[in-house]
Amino acid sequence: MKKILSSFLLVSIVVISSVLLSGCTISDEKINEYNRMVSEADILIEGREYTLAIEKLSTATELIPSKVDALKRIVDIFILKNRLEEATKIIDDSGMQLSETDRADLYISVGDAYYVVENYEKALLNYQLAKGLSAQKQRALLGIAKTYLQKGKIEEAKSTLKSNFDGDILIESKLLLSYIEALTDSQEAKQTIEDIEPGDTWRDAYTKWNGILDSLTTDELYNGSKLGKEYLDSGYPYLAISLLQPNLEKMGEYADGIYILGKAYYDYGEYQKSIDVLEENTSLSDLNQYIYWVLARDYNFLGDANTSMSYYDSAIAYGAKEAQEILYTEYLDILVEDNLTEKALEVMKSAERIFAKEWISIYYMDIYSLREDNEKFIYYMNKVSYDKLSETEKPEYLFSKGKYLIKTSKLDEAQLTLDVFWELDQYDPRYNLLVGQLNFEKGELEEARVYAKKAIEYDLEGIVSNDAQTLLAQID
């Protein structure tokens, strides 16, 4: 009887196991279908048809929830479109269907994206979710340490960086740990990295940091400025603040340290503290152009437009013929965006005395477009030599020219301009918006709708989405 029962149980186990395994085994047909849909989605992604790609990839994930390929592409699209909340949610919803390693990879990707846009709370959350899965723990811990540094939690970052890392992560972690140690002990900072072989990726950073540590003297203020500048250049402003703020009263007329501390507060998002440091300690120096430039940015972020403009003017005045091009273009972008065309023209007169470049005419086009002065717009439009424009200036010029031609009902000329724009970049959202607007003027509403939607689809930086939505509202 026992023998019969044992045989029965053995058969039952085999049968049940076979049923369960057959349910878990993915058929070749399903795998082929999944791979086909992912391949088709890749073609759509290459063509920047992100919405259609997500639809296809979503179907693929439903077909085989345990494979990561389709889900990773969806997450990548959400990151590209800055839809990071949705990216985190879709990983959360994947539950236990994906492996821990795959889920950890995805959380780290989203954490990195949040880190880039300086949303450190959300970056930390995603890194911690990855860490909790145990897989890819080293990458998660490094992300956590870097985020701690951005949040001013130096001791927590230091503790995390002392974890057991290896490979490239070890190299980066040792460099960051050395940065922290240099706040109090440059010799300890040297010892931390002396036995590290940085490899090609980190060689330049290590060489530069070693040079800085070797150049330090007994002059505390000099050392602070030297280290603080490197902290800023490396993207860790709180380290510069931590180092320099305690010595602020000692700096007196030491413009380098004062500027670096003020810039560090600006980079850290503490605009009022940046103002307090720079306004209370300014003196005549070669750095005044840059000090006033930081103050202009501080006040701009605090919403004080008049004071911001005053400091931009001072930065330009102190810079004189040595003023940087980016200072002018940054200031002009603010003035154009706020429709302060009279002030913009004043700044342009100063700019064209220094710079003999094509961007001067493009800015004049933008300003006179806002002022609806067609005669002067045409004058500057005709001054532009298209072949001399940089790759970033060409679409700006074509967009400004195309808008004017459509607005003034010169539709045939507009079409010729758009033909050139298509050859330059058919996926530029500005090109697609113009095509939509041109078709709307021609009464071809369906085509206008298609291109307005394309403009929104391709617009990853929010350049024309509002205008495209307005066009859709007019069509519908």
Residue 375, judged by CB atoms within 10 A of its CB (0-12, 13-18, 19+), counts as exposed
Among the candidates 162, 191, 216, a domain finishes at 216
pLDDT of residue 5: 36
Q: Are residues 262 and 272 in the same domain?
A: yes
Residues of the domain holding 330:
324-382
Q: Are residues 43 and 123 in the same domain?
A: yes
Q: Are residues 71 and 118 in the same domain?
A: yes
Q: Are residues 394 and 345 in the same domain?
A: no
pLDDT per position as a tens digit, 394-441: 999 999 999 999 999 999 999 999 999 999 999 999 999 999 999 999
Cβ atoms of 266 and 297 within 8 Å: the answer is yes
Q: What is the rounded CA–CA span in Å between residue 353 and residue 320?
A: 10
Question: pTM here?
Answer: 0.89
pLDDT of residue 284: 57
| DSSP count for the chain of H helices, then E strands | 28, 0
**Helices marked H in 234-270 — which ranges?**
237-244, 248-251, 255-268
Q: Are residues 305 and 332 in the same domain?
A: no
Residue 18 lies in a domain: no
pLDDT of residue 15: 31
pLDDT of residue 253: 72
pLDDT of residue 283: 66
Chain length of the chain: 476
Q: Are residues 42 and 140 in the same domain?
A: yes
Q: Are residues 210 and 228 in the same domain?
A: no
CATH number of the domain to which 96 belongs: 1.25.40.10
Mean pLDDT of the chain: 92
pLDDT of residue 367: 97
Q: Are residues 56 and 117 in the same domain?
A: yes
Q: Are residues 423 and 470 in the same domain?
A: yes
Q: Total structural domains in the chain?
A: 5
Residue 152 lies in a domain: no
Q: Are residues 294 and 337 in the same domain?
A: no
Give the residue among 109, 112, 107, 50 at the shortest CA–CA distance from 81.
50
Among the candidates 128, 145, 162, a domain finishes at 145
Residue segments in the chain with a per-residue pLDDT below the cut of 70:
1-24, 282-284
pLDDT of residue 282: 64
Q: Are residues 243 and 299 in the same domain?
A: yes
Among the candidates 382, 398, 421, a domain finishes at 382
Residue 124 lies in a domain: yes
Q: What is the rounded CA–CA span in Å between residue 243 and residue 265?
A: 12
Residue 17 lies in a domain: no
Residue 318 lies in a domain: no
Q: Are residues 34 and 138 in the same domain?
A: yes
| HSE of 465, CA atoms in CB hemisphere, 13 A | 8
Residue 407 lies in a domain: yes
Cβ atoms of 265 and 241 within 8 Å: the answer is yes
- For the stretch 244-250, contacts whose Cβ atoms lie closer than 8 Å and that sit 24 or more positions apart, written own/partner, are 247/220, 247/221, 248/277, 248/281, 250/220, 250/221
Residue 36 lies in a domain: yes
pLDDT of residue 277: 94
- For the stretch 454-457, contacts whose Cβ atoms lie closer than 8 Å and that sit 24 or more positions apart, written own/partner, are 454/429, 455/429, 455/430, 456/429, 457/48, 457/49, 457/50, 457/51
pLDDT of residue 75: 97
Residue 235 lies in a domain: yes
